[in-house]
Amino acid sequence: MTFQGWLLIAAFVGILLALTKPMGLWLFTLYEGRRTPLHTVFGPIERSFYRLSGIDPNAEQSWRRYAVHMLLFNVALLLFTYAVLRLQGLLPLNPQGFAGTSSDLAFNTAISFTTNTNWQSYSGESTLTNLAQMLGLTIHNFLSAATGIALAFALFRGFARRSAATIGNFWADVTRVTLYLLLPICIVYALFLIASGVPQTLSQSVDVTTLEGVKQTLALGPVASQEAIKMLGTNGGGFFNANSAHPFENPTALTNLVEMLSIFVIGFGLTWTFGKAVGNPRQGWAILAAMLLIFLAGVTVTYWQEAAGNPVLHNLGVAGGNMEGKEVRFGIAASALFSVVTTAASCGAVNAMHDSFTALGGMIPLFNIQLGEVVIGGVGAGIYGFLLFAILAVFVAGLMVGRTPEYVGKKIESREVKLAVLAIAVLPLIILGFTAIASVTDAGLAGPLNKGPHGFSEILYAFTSAVGNNGSAFAGLSANTPFYNGMLGVAMWIGRFFIIIPMLAIAGSLAAKKYTPETAGSFPTTGALWTGLLVGIVLIVGGLTFLPSLALGPIADHLAMIRGQLF
């Protein structure tokens, strides 16, 4: 570990904290549906959309109606993308003559991008056409991210409203987030990436002669536009197989820093927006403090382990940290930080190969996802997932003080607690259940390229990533098979929508409740004690998934490594 490495981590957190309130204020403006300076440009587009689709943005919806419209929207997008992928061989912008994808790969990919997972069982530059990348995938990067933020707004309204029957309008929320947040930032972001050397062209490839005199074909395409929303929307699906380790996606140390910042900036801002929505910004800062404590602990362990390196190589006389699977232009600190950022959020983009991390260094990305990716988390999904844990935490606190639990002025009763438990229990049940199936079937065991505990970790990481809607992978797993494409596709759908529906039911239930003022007997939910309780609940509940698989995967792998065994 070096001073420069810690300085990078400190600067990263400091910049994000400085951006939290400005981003939160902008998000709060969209949450309330107020006019912004961008309405002059995008307002006519918004109004035209409502007029053509027959939508009244002022007609609010109950939680059930909000959920039905959200589900129908996502099913329509899934079917559209499936058709694009299957038919890409007949569609334009296909100079390399790529055929349509197989049915199982199209199924997996369509669900993956619909659910904001962006798991990729294929190599983008050798499988998909420019049209499929733009029309089939990038559109999801915007709309799945906008859906997550819209759902967070719906839950905020549940906490903020009193005796209300509605939680907003899904179509208005998605439209405003797309037009006034994601699109304008991505235009500027893409221009920055182009200036930094990221390609943006409809050409599929170019032939060059290297310095050694060897001819090489370089894959090109509309990379910068996809890269911008891939990061900002915590999507993670790369244009190239190497993802953000590829120099055409992430060419410099500056682009690497900006990409990491963009993964977290909306998640940071949403914590402040929540506090503002419920009338107490300290509530948002308390949530952010709990998230940061877990995040910084994860960064510390990962950086420490990767900087320490592999003891097997040390015994062979190779000193230094673990640079296997990492880009020299980034180094250990930036690679370790990126891995924790992308798995704490539901991004899944990678600038180093997690499969090549040390056993305990790779354990932290796995653990982050198994917590439910609520440590900052995906855009919208992180904050609404964390608020489910807050409901459990305040319930536990209420049991300790012998009073009906209350949170931001709303009584938390059995209905909310049961729904929160139902949503949170999805992760351990599906992750461990699907991993068990893959670990005992021939089709599942054919996937991992490594055997023993590390091979198990590859299977476990895949289903953890799918259910957690992350999309990163231990790349030693050969997942482009009917078995894994099907199983992972189902896991991604369950991981997204089996959490969203109970969450929206909680929003509807809370919105209908009256406001309960705080009293001297109320448990405080803004101080250090509350932050510590939140951290404890997240870690304990996250352990429901992590502990059963710990000894079989990362720990066994680590013990094998220090005994001198190489994988």
Q: How far apart are CA 11 and CA 334, in angstroms?
A: 12
pLDDT over 90 (residue 61): yes
Assigned token pair, 114: 């619909």
Residue 60: pLDDT band by 50, 70, 90 thresholds? very high
What is the rounded CA–CA span in Å between residue 153 and residue 384?
9
Phi first, then psi: what are they for 100, rounded to 5°? -65, 150
pLDDT over 90 at 313, yes or no: no
User: Two tokens at 469?
Assistant: 């809607």
Contacts of 552 (CB under 8 A, 6+ apart): 453, 456, 460
The DSSP result for 232-261, as a single string, is: HTT----SSTTGGGSTTTS-SHHHHHHHHH
C-beta of residue 458 within 8 angstroms of C-beta of residue 355:
yes
What residue type is assigned to position 37 of the chain?
A: P
The pairing of beta strand 406-407 with beta strand 410-411: antiparallel
Do residues 98 and 129 lie in contact, with contact meaning Cβ atoms separated by under 8 Å?
Answer: yes
Q: Residue 566: is its pLDDT beyond 50?
A: no
Nearest-angstrom CA–CA distance, 397 and 365: 30
Q: What is the C-alpha to C-alpha distance for residues 21 and 27, in angstroms, rounded to an integer?
A: 10
Tens of pLDDT, residues 83-109: 999 999 999 988 888 999 999 999 999
| pLDDT tens by residue, 463-494 | 999 999 999 988 788 999 999 999 999 999 99
- Among residues 30, 146, 21, 129, which one has the least CA distance to residue 77? 146
DSSP H or E stretch at residue 406: strand 406-407
Residue 231 contacts residue 185 (beta carbons within 8 Å):
no
pLDDT score of 120 more than 80: yes
pLDDT value for 555: 53
Mean pLDDT along residues 404-426:
91
pTM of the model: 0.93
d(CA 368, CA 385): 13
In this predicted structure, the answer to whether residue 134 has a pLDDT above a threshold of 80 is yes
Write the DSSP assignment of 520-565 as a string of letters: TTSPPSSSHHHHHHHHHHHHHHHHHHHHHHHTTTHHHHHHHHHTT-
Task: Give which of 381, 384, 301 is closest to 345, Cα–Cα.
Answer: 381
pLDDT computed for residue 320 by the predictor:
78
pLDDT band at 309 (very low <50, low <70, confident <90, very high): confident
Distance CA 75, CA 64 (A): 16
30-39, 61-70, 497-506, 514-523: segment of lowest average pLDDT: 514-523
- pLDDT at position 36, please? 94
Q: What are phi and psi of 314, to 5 degrees?
A: -60, -40
What rounded mean pLDDT belongs to the chain?
Answer: 91
Query: Of the candidates 480, 438, 11, which has an alpha carbon nearest to the alpha carbon of residue 254?
Result: 11
CA distance 204 to 207: 11
- The answer to whether 146 and 17 are in contact (CB under 8 A) is no
Q: β-strand 215-219 against 410-411: which pairing, if any?
A: unpaired
* pLDDT over 70 percentage in the chain: 95
The strand pairing partners of 352, in sequence order, are 326
Tokens 């948002």 map to which residue? 284
Model confidence at 561, pLDDT cuts 50, 70, 90, reads low
Kind plus residue range of the DSSP H or E element containing 483: helix 482-511
CB 177 within 8 A of CB 89: no
Instruction: Please report how the helices 359-370 and 528-550 are oriented relative to each other, as an axis angle in degrees rounded to 10.
Output: 120
Please give the helix or strand (H or E) that residue 183 lies within, else none. Answer: helix 183-196
Per-residue pLDDT band for 80 (boundaries 50, 70, 90) equals very high
Reply yes or no on whether the pLDDT at 550 is more than 60: no
Higher pLDDT, 324 or 311: 324
How far apart are the two ends of the chain, measured CA to CA in Å?
24
Q: Say what the pLDDT of residue 567 is.
A: 40
The stretch 24-28 carries a mean pLDDT of 97
- Residues 6 or more apart whose CB falls under 8 angstroms from that of 340 comprise 295, 298, 299, 302, 364, 365, 368
Contact 385, 506 (CB under 8 A): no
Query: Is the pLDDT assigned to residue 564 strictly greater than 80?
Result: no
Is 353 strand, coil or helix?
coil
Specify the pLDDT at position 553.
53
State what percent of residues in the chain have pLDDT above 90. Answer: 72
Q: What share of the chain is helix, strand, coil (3-state, %, to 5)?
A: 65, 5, 30
pLDDT (tens digit per residue) in 327-385: 999 999 999 999 999 999 989 899 999 888 888 888 899 889 988 889 999 999 999 99
Q: Confirm if 284 and 274 have CB atoms less than 8 A apart.
A: yes
What's the token pair of residue 564? 């001198």
Separation between Cα atoms, residue 223 and residue 207, nearest integer Å:
18
Select from 255, 251, 193, 204 the least CA-distant residue to 226: 193
Residue from 160, 159, 179, 182 nearest 171 by CA: 179
Contact 129, 216 (CB under 8 A): no
Contact 381, 144 (CB under 8 A): no
